[in-house]
Structure 1
Amino acid sequence: MAGGNFVNRVMSYLVNELLVNSLANSPTFQRFAVRTSRRIEDISVKAAKKKEELAEQVKDLSKNFESFKNQ
């Protein structure tokens, strides 16, 4: 049984190496990876900006509510 496990791990390693090497050397995959990375960065920046805007709106609403409450 242990021999089968060893063979399975060796086969998995070889397939993994072939897959990684073929993708690493593929210009198409590299373009895909770069585009995907840029899109994720853009989305992250937009999300951070939106988070700041919402925090500011909540802060303003809180101030307005407090001033309304005190009248």
Structure 2
Amino acid sequence: MAGGNFVGRVISYVVNELVVNTLANSPAFQRFAVRTSKRMEEVSNLAVRKRQELQEQLNESLRNFESQKKQ
């Protein structure tokens, strides 16, 4: 039973190494990885900007609400 598990892990390791090496040496995959990384960075920056905009809108709304409440 344990021998089968060992063989399975060895096969998994070898396949993993082959896949990793093949992808690492593939110009098409490298271009894909770079484009994906840049896009994820853009999306992250956009999310930060939108969060700041929403926070500013919320703060403005709260200020307006407080000023109307005082009148």
Question: Which TM-score tier does this pair reach, normalised by the shorter chain?
Answer: over 0.9
The runs of 5 or more residues in structure 1 that have no matched partner are none
* TM-score between both structures, scaled by the size of structure 1: 0.99
Listed as ranges, the gaps of 5+ residues in structure 2 are: none
RMSD: 0.3
- Specify the alignment match of 2:50 in structure 1: 50
Equivalent residues in 2 for 1:1-71, closer than 5 Å: 1-71=1-71
Q: Which amino acid is the alignment partner of residue 3 of structure 2?
A: G
Could you list the structure 1 runs, at least 4 aligned residues long, displaced by more than 4 angstroms after superposition.
Answer: none
Q: How many residues align?
A: 71
